Amino acid sequence: MSISLSIIYLIATITFVIGLKKLGHPATAKNGNLIAAIGMGLAIAGTIFIHDLQVPTIIYVLIGLAIAIGSAIGAWMAIKVKMTKMPELVSLFNGFGGASAALIGLVEFSKNVGDKMQATTIVSGIIIGAITFSGSLIAWGKLNGSLKSVVKIPFHKIVNNLFLIGIIAFAVFMVTTGVNEQVFVGVLLATGLIYGILFVLPIGGADMPVVISLLNSLTGIAAAITGILYSNMVMLVGGILVGSAGIILTIAMCKGMNRTLGAVIFGSFGSTDTTAGENKRLGTIKKTNPSDAAIMMNYATNVIIVPGYGLAVAQAQHVIHELEELLTKKGVNVKYAIHPVAGRMPGHMNVLLAESNVDYSLLLEMDDINPQFKNTDVVLVVGANDVVNPAAHNDPSSPIYGMPILDVENAKNIIVNKRTMNAGYAGIENELFYNSKTVMLFGDAKDALTNLVSELKNM
């Protein structure tokens, strides 16, 4: 490797680290993403043009064409995607990263079959890449509604674990025997793809944030493996950063869902039967209207807003920001309560509210906001469901029992905006709706909030 290319890789690596650091806060996330993207662009350009190989012109043309087409498609998808579809886009991109690693392994296997270390690296990349690709496609299908939230597979824990053990045993056989048959590589790829499907199919929709995070980590690991294969330090470091950050985020998501990482990997994850918590009548509900809700909020001192997926579906983030500003002008202290797994992906609500220029200082995480609910006059829950369900504390038979939630039930008054009384993504009934302090404001979030703002302006 030339000195100039090494310098470029060093600069790229530094931009990755800086970019990742800045991604840790909404106020700097945009710049962090841009810095890391510039570094990746430098690394790609250096890899293509700084080398000692004799490369035909047509290869440069094909590479340039592939980059142009991929960039155009990626930019179009990123611009056109709705905020509600962002988790699906992330899943899809994760899958493409895994597919790339698997394809590289298919191409390189026959060239390195005699080297056990290289062969180990390659088969690892094929397995992880294949699992990430098929698993991400299944996650994408669940998120967009084309697949059921939970697909039952008989004895799926045993089947999945045995299948994974079989894949590992087959990979060890290929490496130790030095077999150089393309059919074996194809079988390895196929089994990896099948396991990715078996892994994600039984997982419930409410657990998708953790699945996305884990698959993102696997994509990083696959990239790091490819970096080892090509002795490319920038790919190795980039992959390690993505993989390690993904694992840390996955652990945080598991904590937020009251899961363990072992349960995620080995099969007892998100497949709990939800029928125990369904159709259990807890009392009667009380309805309200925008006028009465506005009166309640107008005379409050402290208001907490709890955003959820329904807010994203209705594209009501700008209206809720207008509501927050209006209340603040009236002397009301307004804050937002952000649950770590609210929405359909980690940080979904933070990104949604950042789009409407909500002050970042008003976004409080679960551990910080929970002690404040008892001193809150009104809580407005918009489109959130499972993350505010008291069954997590009160009902040992509930699938979400033990899951850390926002302690909305401790507030003095609760307004819940929902379109219908349908269950949330976990498919269970919410005790909060029947609480004596709760009133239901039914309707599309954007329409309901617009009417609420209108009523407040007239007071």
The predicted-structure confidence for 252-269, as pLDDT tens digits, reads as follows 777 766 667 766 666 444
**Annotation says 377 is catalytic:** no
Instruction: State residue 400's pLDDT score.
Output: 75
What's the rounded mean pLDDT across residues 157-161? 83
What's the rounded mean pLDDT across residues 376-401? 86
Instruction: State residue 8's pLDDT score.
Output: 93
Instruction: State residue 392's pLDDT score.
Output: 85
Backbone angles phi, psi at 439, to 5 degrees: -125, 145
pLDDT exceeds 60 at position 132: yes
Q: Of 38-52, 290-304, 354-368, where does the model show the most confidence?
A: 290-304
SS (H, E, C) the chain: CCHHHHHHHHHHHHHHHHHHHHCCCHHHHHHHHHHHHHHHHHHHHHHHHCCCCCCCHHHHHHHHHHHHHHHHHHHHHHHHCCHHHHHHHHHHHHHHHHHHHHHHHHHHHHHCCCCHHHHHHHHHHHHHHHHHHHHHHHHHHHHCCCCCCCCCCCCHHHHHHHHHHHHHHHHHHHHHHCCCCHHHHHHHHHHHHHHHHHHHCCCCHHHHHHHHHHHHHHHHHHHHHHHHHCCCHHHHHHHHHHHHHHHHHHHHHHHHHCCCHHHHHHCCCCCCCCHHHCCCCCCCCCECCHHHHHHHHHCCCEEEEEECHHHHHCCCHHHHHHHHHHHHHCCCEEEEEECCCCCCCCCHHHHHHHHCCCCHHHEEEHHHHHHHHHHCCEEEEECCCHHHCCHHHHCCCCCCCCCCCCCHHHCCEEEEEECCCCCCCCCCCCHHHHCCCEEEEECCHHHHHHHHHHHHHCC
pLDDT tens per residue, range 164-206: 999 999 999 998 888 878 889 999 999 999 999 988 887 766 6
The whole model's pTM is what? 0.76
Which residue among the candidates 115, 292, 359, 386 is catalytic per the annotation?
386
pLDDT confidence bin for 78, thresholds 50/70/90:
confident
